[in-house]
Amino acid sequence: MINFACITGNGRVRLTAGAIAPQVLELTDTEAYLEGAGSSFDLETAVKTAVAEMNAKCQLIRESGISTTVKRAAFRFVRETLKALQEMMN
């Protein structure tokens, strides 16, 4: 199971994804897009940016026994996290 977290405060957005690499990853490219676009960010662009970033940073976690192919199939669930952020900002 991939865990997504979105934290806002002090004018910053932090977006993290867990269980796709040995350490929790901060999705800095996606954060930069969200901060630049502000509350009017495009959900589809944000999702594409996040998925591309997760694809680039995804690594095998030997202990989990879950392949990167299976993990990548679950990346689409980042949409719900970004949609919730969008609703909160509007």
- Domain ranges, ordered by start, for the chain: 3-89
Closest to 13 in 3D by CA, of 66, 49, 65, 61: 49
Q: What is the pTM assigned to this prediction?
A: 0.76
| The CATH number of the domain covering residues in 3-89 | 3.30.390.50
pLDDT for 62: 62
Counting residues of the chain whose pLDDT is more than 70, the rounded percentage is 88
- Nearest alpha carbon to residue 58 among 69, 48, 47: 69
Return mean pLDDT, the chain: 82
Cβ 26 vs Cβ 14: under 8 Å: yes
CA distance 64 to 41: 34
User: For residue 5, is pLDDT > 80?
Assistant: no
Asked if residue 11 has pLDDT above 80, the reply is: no
CB 34 within 8 A of CB 12: no
User: Could you tell me the two tokens for 77?
Assistant: 């669930």
